[in-house]
Structure 1
Amino acid sequence: MKHTQWILGLLLTVGCTKTNHADEGNHPEVKQVTYIESKADFPNPERGFYRYSETRVDDYNLLEEEELKGYRDVQNITGAGYSVLSTLVFRYFILEGYNNKPLPATFLENFKKDAATARKAGVKLIPRFTYTVTSNAGSCPEGFICPPYGDAPKNMVLQHISQLKPLLQENADVIACLQMGFIGTWGENYYTDYFGDASSNGQSKLLNNNWADRGEVLKALLEALPPDRMVQVRYPQVKQRYIYGVNAPASSAALTTEEAAQENDKARIGYHNDCFLASANDYGTYEDYGNSSSPRKEATTAFRNYFSMDSRYVVVGGETCSDDYSPQNDCEPAGKAEQEFGEMHYSFLNAHYNAEVNNDWQTGGCMDNIKRKLGYRLVLKDGTFPDKVTPNDSVAVMINLQNVGYAAPYNPRPVQLILREKSTGEKHVFEFNTEIRTWLTGSIQLKQAFRLPAGIKAGSYEMLLNLPDKYASLKEMPAFSVQLANEQVWEPATGYNQLNHTINIQN
């Protein structure tokens, strides 16, 4: 009965800004705490501007811990007029020379070393594997790039993925997401010797067997990762034709709220758009590449609509590639850069390329907003908490937050209420029943009653909110916990966020 009255009392006090005392009966006292939003830019896991790196199988340059740690602080970008801080490192693994033979053990061992370095440095990787990053000019129709391009046949791609699978599984904690790669120059799935050349150098579209072959590679990559990690594809049609078949129309259904975070294939395929706001269709990103019975054709509106809806619950990132689409790719009001980031739910972007486009955001005045809002940005608004309880009571809390970023978090993580006794440091951890991957831009409410554990000692307990990494290897490392965008809440030594309220547990 006491618990029921407590909850009723809590509901009646929402909106108050001071301690409320029940008019009659033995009701716990409750208090509403309000919070001040911070406008600072600070590092948070799995979001923001990423730093670029590349390495080759036979000329492997290992990542360096101190350099990666430095990325978490504000640094100038070479050749650019802006500075960034980063928790993500894009890692190009160039498999040149291994188009027809297995990857050597030394390469696999170096991959493990890179993952260990990232773990120590407090950053995560965005890996992409490719056989070539070279464009050979010639007398072919495209001119600047001509076949043979230098990628690998399907059987070798699948063999390499099989070799990498144990490493991807073992080091998934520091893999933010994996880009599909492998197919074509730069791993962008376009200029390819073996998977259907959709350029004017080749057949100018994709055939049914090309879609099927690409689907096999995507399936192998999804299976090479644990189910809580996503694979990014370069074109939305790759996902549609993997999920719905080679005849899937551009109007195919996007991921729904009910399907989100289910960790099946449909919920695990995101996007890397490597030509963000480069043209009306982002240089072929939003294009129908046909099949054996249909031609290649324009489908920008349909694919943009699909991308916008589907990307609410999957990871989106990429890079800019051309400043020719100006003023559209500039800051508002002349352009629509921030609008596009929000509508397409971007979580990360290349800090280095294309600096001409990114520089325009600095001079245009929207770069600071973009730096803060890429991915999630969670702000505490207010919370309602009990002032004192007995060990037999439940602790009912209501916390209102707002995600002012462009996207929801794309990897799972627990959301915890922590009670920490002020004199002894004794901690009790309670987990909210919520799915952080559905925390879209807008309001979020955490409302739950927690039963105190048997034997809890009387005392004064600080209340904290903790959003640690899911993986045991990282969950105690503050660099991988989420900092809320508020003044005077972050504890850098623990990775906890202070709720600025103390609850007294009385016998």
Structure 2
Amino acid sequence: MKIDLLFLGLLLAAACSSDDKGSQDQDADDEPTTVTYVASQDDFPNPERGFYHYSDTRASDYTPLDADELATYRTPQSADGASYSVVSTLVFRYFILDTYNAAPLGESFLTQVRADFAAAREAGVKLIPRFTYTVTATAGDCPESFICPPYGDASKTTVLGHIGQLKPLLQENADVIACVQLGFFGTWGENYYSDYFGDASSNDQGKLLDQNWTDRIEVLQAMLDATPKNIMVQVRYPQFKQRHNDGINALTNVAPLTETEAFSETDKARIGYHNDCFLASDTDFGTFEDYGNSSSPRTSATSVLRKYFADDSKYVVVGGETCSDGYSPQNDCAPAGKAEKEMSDLHYSYLNMDYNNDVNNDWVTGGCMENIKKRLGYRFALTSGTYSTTIMEDDEIAIKLILENSGFTSPFKARPVQLILKNTTTGEVVVRTLATDVRRWFPGTNTIEESLEGGLSAGTWALYLNLPDAGTAINKRPEYSIRLANNGTWEAATGYNSLNHTITVE
């Protein structure tokens, strides 16, 4: 009897031991692994952000873009008068239509524009196009003296005809267009000193009338219709967007974009801003101004429009350039100035490296230029990643990424977010697309946690994060993929970011 009881006890103990071991093995298989990452302090090129290189060409004397020269912009370059160098993936391109003020665009000109887009694609950069008729300020005996009418822009009929001719080019080359600036009317295409769309300067009426607004809105709508839905169109003044969206009687305190409306490809969600006088005065030389209409006067609206701009710009593209050093020390580095804070508050993705370096050079001497170079647009750095370790062939793949965006804003164009799995023995590559939207990886900490389709064959698989361009012609080009700001993760040959982790599939 004692022997039987002892035998039974041994059996029960063995059973319990076996159950415990099975539980531990299962837990070990499912136990995720957390990898930590080290942020990089390097400045490196990334798509659709940073300082841009300036270029211009005239229809009367066309100077084409050179792909070999454009490709060098990805390595450190300095501009004339600059005490700093930048790496760049953006090229601003002025197309000056100086021979077409009253005529349709010629086929030879359109062919040359098409070739510029091709050069950008070959070089691995993107363009910011602006079309205008004049960049000349003719001095004379008028109230503003340094610039007097006639200014030299074109009529609405001519402008609309040219937009219609350019539409196929803009549609065909959307992959290498970062964004489009409205341009066309006003000297420099800045929609101010105009012969046909209302002259709000002291040279003439000093404000804009109802018909001026109607004509301007019609041109903006034509540009929105001519460009693909994934391309944003930038306007010079925030009130222009307000009156396009809400009518020519819209007040300056209308509601900005909401997060729900953002990135929806509606017209409202596609209108961004180019401020060509960043921190030049308390109004940025008229950027934050109420230009009135037929029944209301022109007035200052700086605080209201700045708040609208700040709230709206979280979801649209913002860029521009400095234009005057007269607002120093406000346009300097902290603590005397607020340059970096202003870029953060107003969500700047890019600035001009060529102008005005009286202002930009002060950021070098003031000690904030290196931060500005790295923070324009987005800057993503992984903090940690938690991943599956050992899974079965049909198991889902669980990942959790903690990512810090130390930039001034998030990307303004959609792109895939892909988990790349590469078999370490066979080299087979499997792609799993995440549901997350990179445009909503706003400044600060972002958590991306998803379970992805499995179906991997047995073996060991290395993990990578890939953020390629959405354009089918360039989405395999590493120059157009987003690089994370981490040490030991970037794979230059593929554009992948290594997650420094492998999964075993049994």
Q: Secondary structure at the match of 1:76?
A: coil
| TM-score normalised per structure 1 | 0.94
Deviating above 4 A after TM superposition, structure 1's stretches of 4 or more consecutive aligned residues are: 21-27
Q: Tell which deviates more after alignment, 57-66 or 474-483.
A: 57-66
How far 1:173 moved relative to its partner? 0.3
| Correspondence 1:159-178 to 2 at 5 A | 159-178=161-180
Tell me the residue number matched to 1:498.
498
Tell me the alpha carbon deviations over residues 56-95 of structure 1, each in whole angstroms, 9 at most, x when there is no partner. 1131111111110100000122211111111000000000
What residue identity is the alignment partner of 1:174?
A: V
CA distance in 2, matches of 1:25, 1:432: 27
CA distance in 2, matches of 1:137, 1:314: 36
Tell me the residue number matched to 2:326.
324
Tell me the residue number matched to 1:315.
317
Q: Secondary structure at the match of 1:430?
A: strand
Q: Tell which deviates more after alignment, 22-31 or 53-62.
A: 22-31
What residue identity is the alignment partner of 1:488?
A: G
Indicate yes or no: 2:489 matched with 1:489: yes
| Contact 1:261/1:438, CA 8 A, preserved across alignment | no
Tell me the residue number matched to 2:480.
480
Q: Secondary structure at the match of 1:271?
A: strand
Q: Secondary structure at the match of 1:84?
A: coil
How far 1:457 moved relative to its partner? 2.0
How far 1:392 moved relative to its partner? 1.6
Q: Tell which deviates more after alignment, 75-84 or 265-274.
A: 75-84
| Correspondence 1:421-436 to 2 at 5 A | 421-436=423-438
Tell me the residue number matched to 1:465.
465
Structure 2 gap segments, 5+ residues each: 1-21
What residue identity is the alignment partner of 2:442?
A: L
| Contact 1:22/1:28, CA 8 A, preserved across alignment | no
| TM-score normalised per structure 2 | 0.95
CA distance in 1, matches of 2:71, 2:42: 19
| Correspondence 1:56-205 to 2 at 5 A | 56-205=58-207
Tell me the residue number matched to 1:6.
none
| Contact 1:330/1:361, CA 8 A, preserved across alignment | yes
| Correspondence 1:10-409 to 2 at 5 A | 23=24, 25=26, 28-409=30-411
Tell me the residue number matched to 1:437.
439
Instruction: Give aligned pairs, total.
Output: 484
Tell me the residue number matched to 1:11.
none
Tell me the alpha carbon deviations over residues 188-246 of structure 1, each in whole angstroms, 9 at most, x when there is no partner. 00000000000001110001111110001100101111101100000000000000000
CA distance in 2, matches of 1:415, 1:397: 13
Q: Tell which deviates more after alignment, 349-358 or 72-81.
A: 72-81
Tell me the alpha carbon deviations over residues 335-364 of structure 1, each in whole angstroms, 9 at most, x when there is no partner. 001100000000000001000000000011
| Contact 1:232/1:269, CA 8 A, preserved across alignment | yes
| Contact 1:479/1:495, CA 8 A, preserved across alignment | yes
What residue identity is the alignment partner of 1:144?
A: F
How far 1:406 moved relative to its partner? 0.2
CA distance in 2, matches of 1:25, 1:424: 27
Aligned-residue identity in percent: 59
CA distance in 2, matches of 1:197, 1:391: 69
How far 1:417 moved relative to its partner? 0.6
Q: Secondary structure at the match of 2:33?
A: strand
How far 1:387 moved relative to its partner? 0.9
| Contact 1:28/1:387, CA 8 A, preserved across alignment | yes
CA distance in 1, matches of 2:504, 2:208: 66
Structure 1 gap segments, 5+ residues each: 1-20
| Contact 1:31/1:386, CA 8 A, preserved across alignment | yes
Q: Tell which deviates more after alignment, 386-395 or 180-189.
A: 386-395
CA distance in 1, matches of 2:58, 2:71: 23
What residue identity is the alignment partner of 1:85?
A: V
CA distance in 1, matches of 2:308, 2:76: 35
How far 1:262 moved relative to its partner? 0.2
| Contact 1:432/1:446, CA 8 A, preserved across alignment | no
CA distance in 2, matches of 1:107, 1:279: 38
Tell me the residue number matched to 1:18.
none
CA distance in 1, matches of 2:264, 2:352: 28
What residue identity is the alignment partner of 2:300?
A: E
What residue identity is the alignment partner of 2:429?
A: K
Q: Secondary structure at the match of 1:488?
A: coil
CA distance in 2, matches of 1:76, 1:167: 31
Q: Tell which deviates more after alignment, 27-36 or 147-156.
A: 27-36
Q: Secondary structure at the match of 1:83?
A: coil
CA distance in 2, matches of 1:208, 1:316: 27
Q: Secondary structure at the match of 2:315?
A: coil
How far 1:24 moved relative to its partner? 7.2
What residue identity is the alignment partner of 2:143?
A: P
Tell me the alpha carbon deviations over residues 163-201 of structure 1, each in whole angstroms, 9 at most, x when there is no partner. 000000000100000000001000000000000000001
| Contact 1:260/1:438, CA 8 A, preserved across alignment | no
